[in-house]
């Protein structure tokens, strides 16, 4: 039997995921063998692991794009930078989790292990270039997040959130798998590059089959990134999950799902029908931006408001995805069904859009982790059953009680609203500029208008923090240095990247060197 | 009509009937038993497709292990026969319309398939050989290494998840 | 085209035999055996004790954990079959891949063992 041969190069891209997995296993084993009372070492171990994995992924990002591991995975700057963003989110999430769990006497190695497993799944998902690999890695990340959602177990809210996320997530995964199976039936391969080569002929011979496969795969991804109308689960799940988990879900899970979506559709979209793909992504983007922002406005529950805001941010990201398929960037209809280069001429525009997407994911990761981090730091276990743990009133007068947390929250909210000089502004600028350059002026205008609506509900929290007196008897848990450190780091990143995006945005320009284009 | 074709229609009709039984039965246990029947008939279809390995796994894992888990969950929830009757609501109607639409689209797509083998099947003998455990093993551990090893990660995560979510004392 | 059904003929034979037995034995017992029906005899049999309540009692969640862990290792075993069949042909390379696969799961086994998930908590 011919056994395949692997070089060192093959293992380079999966090394970050391997480090994350090893860290997770170490945490599991130490949890059962070390039974010590203080478990802060676990959070630190998780942070060290994610930093190591992130650093390795960062060095990978400067290698040329190529396929590895028999074509099941690709090593390209796009996936490597995603791993960096994911590791950043995981490290910050572990720090936030430490204080959050300590307050609830629920600090255990499993929490951090699952965080690291999820990160490994995200990293592998971002580089998957074959449908079965992609599905298995998507499930690694999903199963970890299902378990994390139900981690606290007590009370109806975590149970409801875990149950809802699991049922709907499994359903969405089934849709994706079904779609992939139909595409396999049409082309006879599950490798994205081979599928792209055979899809043109298949789309001519069996257009209905290919279209069904496409829509099912798209629906599965739309669920994972919480695009309207597949967003219904988001507020309940985000609200019921432990707040640090919500933060990681809104940042890392979304980033990995977006990157996988972009990869699949960049391979298959142009061969199938770029016009249809473009129309669908534009419609999804428009609906997601508008609905997410409109539903966030009436929320008095800050955690729920941030959940809807995360839906809205998926909409901005989707407008960046739509820019990849805009009419300007694809060749005229006549060349559509030929499998080869309908892109070539517009690689600059495509690179700009991909860079915008990655920068946005980075920006949203630090901002979202920070904002959910503040929300989590103010939560008291005792209030959770009363249902007002996240009410706006809890934020009133925060500037006097906790000046640092209030200031950090203000920075994060300004960044979410896209107000300079924060990173949120730079990210929106990049994505919307990519959309405008691709000719999607309408979508960009809609994006700017709906983010203006978003400013209202973000600033309302700032007003409560700085201009309202504190409500009597509002107590907040004691401060934890891990949480404060994570918040300070995020706030610094938000302002720093907003003022000096230079070198980071230069690095991310390599995102255009995505594999296979 | 060949024996395969006759059996196909027998299995296909039985799958539809038992799948219908899963959703129609008021008694959760009866529902679960219909599902077992459905799994068995599905294994029959896999055999007709030369997918011997999948057929065996369908019986071993699904009809065996996973159904046991189903029954445990039913007993855990202690569902009585007089469960609430589903009320018609706008979201339910919307869901029904959506599901019907999906079904129509899929059936439409499948009806339009040409009655010949797909063009990418070049070697019909290979189709007959491929589904055996030996053949599956020969490609799985050499050509499909990465997804195979990823499955071990998935199973590990499932172990930890099961303990975190369901173990009585942690 | 050879039929995929040929290897399943023994199963068909077993099924036919089982069906025949299932029909023949009740038919024979009703035909041959003496019948006397009374209320006590038609009660469910619980080792001679009077029946207590319904059989539909809530199971403890611990059954669920065990069942879930069983499935995970069942699936692992499933991946062992194709490897075992090709053990010689795959050689040391196959041994290495399976070692990697299994050692990941052994870490999981060590974890649940030490965690006490295999203990019967009461």
Of A187, A190, A210, the C-alpha closest to B112 is A210
A201–B151: do the CB atoms touch at under 8 Å?
A: no
How far apart are the C-alpha atoms of A290 and A449, rounded to whole Å? 9
Q: Which chains touch B (3 or more CB pairs under 8 A)?
A: A, C
Is the residue at B112 inside a domain? Answer: no
CA distance to partner chain C, nearest, from residue B22 (Å): 19
Is the residue at C110 inside a domain? Answer: yes
For the residues of A314-359, what is the DSSP string, one character each? HHHHHHHHHHHT-GGGS--GGGTTSSS-SSGGGHHHHHHHHHHHHH
The yes-or-no verdict on residue A384 having pLDDT over 80 is no
Q: Does A2 touch chain C (CB under 8 A)?
A: no
Is the residue at B150 inside a domain? Answer: yes
C110–A3: do the CB atoms touch at under 8 Å?
A: no
* pLDDT band, residue A337 (cuts 50/70/90): very low
pLDDT at B82 (0 to 100): 57
Range A196-210 average pLDDT: 87
SS3 C22: helix
The yes-or-no verdict on residue A244 having pLDDT over 90 is yes
The yes-or-no verdict on residue A336 having pLDDT over 50 is no
How far apart are the C-alpha atoms of A417 and B33, rounded to whole Å? 53
Instruction: Point out the residue among C90, C104, C110 whose CB comes nearest to the CB of A1.
Output: C90
pLDDT at B1 (0 to 100): 63
C7–B52: do the CB atoms touch at under 8 Å?
A: yes
Residues 6+ apart with CB under 8 A from B53: B131, B132, B133, B136, C82
pLDDT at A283 (0 to 100): 94
Write the CATH number for C24. Answer: 1.20.58.1610
Q: Phi and psi (nearest 5°) for A351?
A: -60, -40
CA distance to partner chain A, nearest, from residue B113 (Å): 6
SS3 A294: helix
How far apart are the C-alpha atoms of A78 and A61, rounded to whole Å? 8
- Cα radius of gyration (chain A): 22
Least confident piece of the model among A127-131, B121-125, C61-65: B121-125
Query: What is the residue whose two structure tokens read 């594999």?
Result: A515
Q: Who has greater pLDDT, A439 or A458?
A: A458
Q: Could you tell me where the DSSP H helices lie in A206-273?
A: 207-224, 233-240, 243-248, 254-272
The yes-or-no verdict on residue C1 having pLDDT over 60 is no
Structure tokens at A4: 């395949």
The domain total for chain B is 2
pLDDT at A450 (0 to 100): 92
Sign of CA dihedral A356, A362, A366, A371: positive
Instruction: Point out the residue among C94, C107, C114 whose CB comes nearest to the CB of A25.
Output: C107
* pLDDT band, residue A181 (cuts 50/70/90): very high
CB C101 within 8 A of CB B148: yes
Mutate to test the interface with A, among B95, B103, B154, B155 (most CBs of A within 10 A): B154
C69–B50: do the CB atoms touch at under 8 Å?
A: no
Name residues 344-403 of chain A within 8 A of B (Cβ).
Answer: none
What is the rounded average pLDDT for all residues in chain B?
A: 87
Final residue before a domain boundary, out of B80, B100, B119: B80
Is the residue at B98 inside a domain? Answer: no
Instruction: Point out the residue among B47, B140, B156 whose CB comes nearest to the CB of C8.
Output: B47
Q: Does B146 touch chain A (CB under 8 A)?
A: yes
The domain total for chain C is 1
pLDDT at A122 (0 to 100): 96
SS3 A68: strand
What is the rounded average pLDDT for all residues in chain A?
A: 88
Query: Chain B contacts of A69, Cβ < 8 Å?
Result: 145-146
Least confident piece of the model among B1-5, B50-54, C10-14: B1-5
A133-155 pLDDT, tens digit per residue, is: 999 999 999 999 999 999 988 77
How far apart are the C-alpha atoms of A461 and A18, rounded to whole Å? 41
Query: Chain B contacts of C2, Cβ < 8 Å?
Result: 128
How far apart are the C-alpha atoms of B12 and A107, rounded to whole Å? 51
Is the residue at B163 inside a domain? Answer: yes
Least confident piece of the model among A463-467, A495-499, C46-50: C46-50
Range A293-298 average pLDDT: 94
CA distance to partner chain B, nearest, from residue A80 (Å): 18
Q: Does B61 touch chain C (CB under 8 A)?
A: yes
Strongest mean pLDDT among A196-200, A273-277, B26-30, C18-22: C18-22
The yes-or-no verdict on residue A328 having pLDDT over 70 is no
Q: Does A35 touch chain C (CB under 8 A)?
A: no
The yes-or-no verdict on residue A334 having pLDDT over 60 is no
**Which residue range forms the structural domain that includes residue C19?**
6-115
Strongest mean pLDDT among A265-269, C63-67, C101-105: C101-105
CB B73 within 8 A of CB C64: yes
Query: Chain C contacts of B168, Cβ < 8 Å?
Result: 60-62, 65, 121
Range A18-28 average pLDDT: 95
Final residue before a domain boundary, out of B36, B61, B80: B80
pLDDT at A409 (0 to 100): 95
**Which residue range forms the structural domain that includes residue B47?**
1-80
Of C94, A31, A64, the C-alpha closest to B144 is C94
B168–C79: do the CB atoms touch at under 8 Å?
A: no
* pLDDT band, residue A420 (cuts 50/70/90): confident
3-state per-residue secondary structure call for chain B: CCHHHHHHHHHHHHHHHHHHHHHHCCCHHHHHHHHHHHHHHHHHHHHHCCCHHHHHHHHHHHHHHHHHHHHHHHHHHCCCCCCCCCCCCHHHHHHHHHHHHHHHHHHHHHHCCCCCCCCCCCCHHHHHHHCCHHHHHHHHCCCCHHHHHHHHHHHHHHHHHHHHHHCCCC
- Provide the percentage of residues in chain A whose pLDDT is more than 90: 59
Instruction: Point out the residue among A139, A153, A187 whose CB comes nearest to the CB of B154.
Output: A139
Is the residue at C57 inside a domain? Answer: yes
* pLDDT band, residue A344 (cuts 50/70/90): very low
Query: Chain A contacts of C104, Cβ < 8 Å?
Result: 21, 25
pLDDT at A500 (0 to 100): 87
CB A326 within 8 A of CB A438: yes
pLDDT at C55 (0 to 100): 67
Is the residue at B27 inside a domain? Answer: yes
Is the residue at C121 inside a domain? Answer: no
pLDDT at A333 (0 to 100): 43
Structure tokens at A192: 């994205």
Question: Within a 10 A sphere around the Cβ of C25, how many other Cβ atoms?
Answer: 10
The yes-or-no verdict on residue A432 having pLDDT over 50 is yes
How far apart are the C-alpha atoms of A138 and A127, rounded to whole Å? 11
Least confident piece of the model among A166-175, B59-68, C46-55: C46-55
Query: Chain C contacts of A32, Cβ < 8 Å?
Result: 110-111, 114-115
The yes-or-no verdict on residue A212 having pLDDT over 70 is yes
Q: Does C6 touch chain B (CB under 8 A)?
A: no
CA distance to partner chain B, nearest, from residue C31 (Å): 31
CA distance to partner chain A, nearest, from residue B81 (Å): 23
What's the DSSP call for residue A81? H
B68–C59: do the CB atoms touch at under 8 Å?
A: no
ipTM value: 0.92
For the residues of A8-59, what is the DSSP string, one character each? HHHHTTTHHHHHHHHHHHHHHHHHHHH--S--HHHHHHHHHHHHHHHHHHHH
A446-490 pLDDT, tens digit per residue, is: 999 999 999 999 999 999 999 988 877 777 778 889 999 999 999
Q: Does B161 touch chain A (CB under 8 A)?
A: yes
Residues in chain C: 122
B132-155 pLDDT, tens digit per residue, is: 889 899 889 988 999 999 999 999
pTM above 0.90, yes or no: yes
Instruction: Point out the residue among C2, C65, C98 whose CB comes nearest to the CB of B167.
Output: C65
Range C33-60 average pLDDT: 75
Q: Does C111 touch chain B (CB under 8 A)?
A: yes
Q: Does A29 touch chain C (CB under 8 A)?
A: yes
Query: What is the residue whose two structure tokens read 């933060």?
Result: A247
Instruction: Point out the residue among C2, C58, C97 whose CB comes nearest to the CB of B128.
Output: C2
CA A294 to chain CA centroid, Å, is: 21
CA distance to partner chain B, nearest, from residue A121 (Å): 9
The yes-or-no verdict on residue B159 having pLDDT over 60 is yes
3-state per-residue secondary structure call for B48-88: HCCCHHHHHHHHHHHHHHHHHHHHHHHHHHCCCCCCCCCCC
Is the residue at B5 inside a domain? Answer: yes
Q: Does A22 touch chain B (CB under 8 A)?
A: no
* pLDDT band, residue B113 (cuts 50/70/90): confident
Mutate to test the interface with B, among A144, A172, A260 (most CBs of B within 10 A): A144
* pLDDT band, residue C56 (cuts 50/70/90): low
Residues 6+ apart with CB under 8 A from A45: A23, A26, A27, A30, A112
A59-106 pLDDT, tens digit per residue, is: 998 888 888 888 899 998 999 999 999 999 999 999 999 999 988 888
pLDDT at C75 (0 to 100): 92
Q: Does C115 touch chain A (CB under 8 A)?
A: yes
How far apart are the C-alpha atoms of A361 and A367, rounded to whole Å? 10
CA A432 to chain CA centroid, Å, is: 19
Q: Does A32 touch chain C (CB under 8 A)?
A: yes
C108–B160: do the CB atoms touch at under 8 Å?
A: yes
Q: Phi and psi (nearest 5°) for A128?
A: -65, 135
Q: From residue A360, how far is each of A371, B8, B111 by CA, in Å?
A: 16, 52, 43
Range A119-124 average pLDDT: 96
How far apart are the C-alpha atoms of A86 and A258, rounded to whole Å? 12
pLDDT at B54 (0 to 100): 92
CA distance to partner chain C, nearest, from residue B55 (Å): 11
The yes-or-no verdict on residue B170 having pLDDT over 60 is yes
How far apart are the C-alpha atoms of A257 and A122, rounded to whole Å? 8
Give me the total of CB pairs closer than 8 Å, taking one residue from chain A and one from chain C: 22
The yes-or-no verdict on residue A131 having pLDDT over 50 is yes
Residues 6+ apart with CB under 8 A from A46: A23, A27, A90, A91, A94, A112, A115, A116
Q: Does C110 touch chain A (CB under 8 A)?
A: yes
For the residues of C83-119, what is the DSSP string, one character each? HHHTHHHHHHHHHHHHHHHHHHHHHHHHHHHHHTTTS
Q: Does A46 touch chain B (CB under 8 A)?
A: no
Least confident piece of the model among A204-208, A235-239, A345-349, A367-371: A345-349
Is omega for the bond preceding A229 within 30 degrees of 0, making it cis? yes
Query: Chain C contacts of B159, Cβ < 8 Å?
Result: 69, 72, 105, 108, 111-112
Q: Does B119 touch chain A (CB under 8 A)?
A: yes
Name residues 14-53 of chain C within 8 A of B (Cβ).
Answer: none
Write the CATH number for B14. Answer: 1.20.120.1200
How far apart are the C-alpha atoms of A145 and A115, rounded to whole Å? 8
Residue A391 pairs in a beta bridge with: A301
Instruction: Point out the residue among A70, A110, A124 whose CB comes nearest to the CB of B150.
Output: A124
A124–B106: do the CB atoms touch at under 8 Å?
A: no
Q: From residue C40, how far is each of A169, A232, B97, C54, C95 by CA, in Å?
A: 51, 56, 53, 17, 61
Q: Who has greater pLDDT, A387 or A326?
A: A326
How far apart are the C-alpha atoms of B7 and A137, rounded to whole Å? 37
CA distance to partner chain B, nearest, from residue C115 (Å): 8
pLDDT at A476 (0 to 100): 75
pLDDT at B163 (0 to 100): 92
Is the residue at C122 inside a domain? Answer: no
């Amino acid at each position: 039997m011919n056994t395949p041969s692997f070089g060192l190069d093959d293992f380079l891209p999966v090394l970050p995921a391997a480090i994350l997995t090893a860290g997770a296993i170490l945490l599991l084993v130490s949890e059962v063998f070390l039974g010590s009372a203080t478990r802060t070492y676990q959070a630190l171990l998780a942070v060290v692991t994610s930093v190591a994995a992130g650093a390795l992924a960062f060095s990978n990002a400067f290698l040329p794009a190529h396929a590895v591991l028999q074509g099941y995975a690709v090593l390209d700057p796009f996936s490597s930078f995603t791993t960096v963003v994911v590791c950043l989110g995981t490290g910050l999430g572990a720090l936030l989790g430490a204080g959050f769990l300590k307050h609830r006497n629920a600090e255990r190695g499993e929490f951090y292990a699952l965080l690291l497993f999820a990160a490994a799944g995200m990293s592998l998902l971002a580089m998957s270039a074959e449908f079965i690999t992609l599905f298995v890695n998507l499930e690694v990340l999903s199963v970890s997040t299902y378990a994390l959602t139900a981690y606290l177990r007590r009370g109806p809210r975590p149970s409801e959130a875990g149950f809802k996320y699991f049922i709907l997530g499994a359903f969405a995964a089934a849709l994706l798998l079904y779609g992939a199976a139909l595409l396999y039936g049409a082309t006879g391969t599950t490798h994205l590059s081979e599928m792209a080569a055979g899809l043109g002929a298949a789309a001519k011979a069996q257009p209905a089959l290919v279209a069904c496969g496409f829509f099912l795969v798209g629906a599965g991804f739309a669920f994972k990134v919480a695009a309207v109308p597949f967003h219904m689960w988001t507020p309940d799940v985000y609200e019921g999950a432990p707040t640090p988990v919500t933060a990681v879900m809104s940042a890392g899970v979304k980033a990995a799902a977006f990157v996988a979506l972009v990869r699949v559709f960049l391979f298959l979209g142009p061969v199938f029908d770029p016009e249809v793909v473009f129309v669908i992504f534009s419609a999804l983007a428009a609906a997601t931006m508008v609905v997410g922002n409109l539903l966030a406005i009436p929320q008095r529950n800050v955690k729920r408001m941030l959940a809807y805001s995360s839906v809205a941010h998926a909409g901005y990201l989707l407008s960046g995805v739509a820019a990849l398929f805009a009419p300007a960037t694809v060749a005229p209809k006549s060349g559509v069904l030929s499998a080869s280069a309908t892109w070539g001429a517009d690689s600059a525009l495509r690179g700009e859009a991909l860079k915008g997407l990655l920068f946005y994911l980075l920006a949203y990761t630090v901002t979202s982790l920070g904002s959910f981090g503040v929300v989590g730091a103010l939560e008291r276990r005792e209030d959770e059953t009363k249902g007002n743990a996240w009410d706006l009133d809890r934020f009133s007068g925060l500037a006097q009680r906790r000046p640092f947390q209030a200031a950090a929250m203000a920075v994060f909210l300004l960044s979410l609203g896209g107000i300079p000089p924060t990173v949120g502004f730079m990210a929106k600028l990049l994505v919307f500029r990519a959309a405008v350059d691709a000719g999607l002026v309408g979508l960009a205008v809609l994006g700017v208008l709906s983010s203006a609506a978003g400013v209202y509900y973000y600033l309302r929290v700032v007003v409560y923090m700085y201009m309202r007196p504190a409500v009597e008897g509002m107590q907040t848990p004691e401060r934890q240095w891990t949480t404060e450190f994570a918040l300070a780091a995020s706030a610094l990143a938000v302002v720093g990247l907003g003022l000096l995006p230079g070198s980071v945005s230069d690095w991310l320009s390599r995102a255009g060197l995505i594999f296979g284009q | 009509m060949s024996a395969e074709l006759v059996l196909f229609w027998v299995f296909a009709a039985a799958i539809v009937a038992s799948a219908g039984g899963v959703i129609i039965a008021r008694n959760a246990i009866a529902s679960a038993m219909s599902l077992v029947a459905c799994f068995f008939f599905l294994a029959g279809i896999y055999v007709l497709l030369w997918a011997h390995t999948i057929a065996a796994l369908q019986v071993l894992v699904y009809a065996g292990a996973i159904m046991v888990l189903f029954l445990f969950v039913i007993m855990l929830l202690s569902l009585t026969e007089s469960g609430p009757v589903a009320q018609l609501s706008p979201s339910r109607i919307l869901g029904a319309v959506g599901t019907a639409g999906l079904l129509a689209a899929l059936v439409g797509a499948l009806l339009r398939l040409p009655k010949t083998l797909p063009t990418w099947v070049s070697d019909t003998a290979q189709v007959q050989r491929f589904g055996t455990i030996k053949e599956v093993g020969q490609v799985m551990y050499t050509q499909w290494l990465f997804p195979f090893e990823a499955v071990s990660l998935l199973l590990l995560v499932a172990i930890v998840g099961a303990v975190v979510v369901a173990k009585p004392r942690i | 085209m050879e039929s995929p059904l040929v290897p399943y003929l023994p199963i068909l034979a077993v099924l036919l035999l089982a069906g025949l037995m299932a029909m023949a034995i009740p038919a024979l017992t009703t035909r041959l055996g003496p019948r006397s029906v009374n209320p006590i005899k038609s009660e469910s049999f619980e080792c001679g004790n009077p029946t207590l309540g319904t059989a539909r009692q809530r199971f403890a969640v611990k059954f669920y954990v065990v069942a879930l862990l069983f499935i995970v290792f069942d699936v692992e075993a499933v991946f062992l079959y194709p490897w075992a069949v090709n053990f010689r042909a795959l050689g040391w390379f196959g041994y290495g891949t399976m070692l990697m696969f299994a050692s990941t799961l052994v870490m999981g086994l060590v974890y649940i063992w030490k965690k006490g998930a295999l203990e019967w908590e009461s």
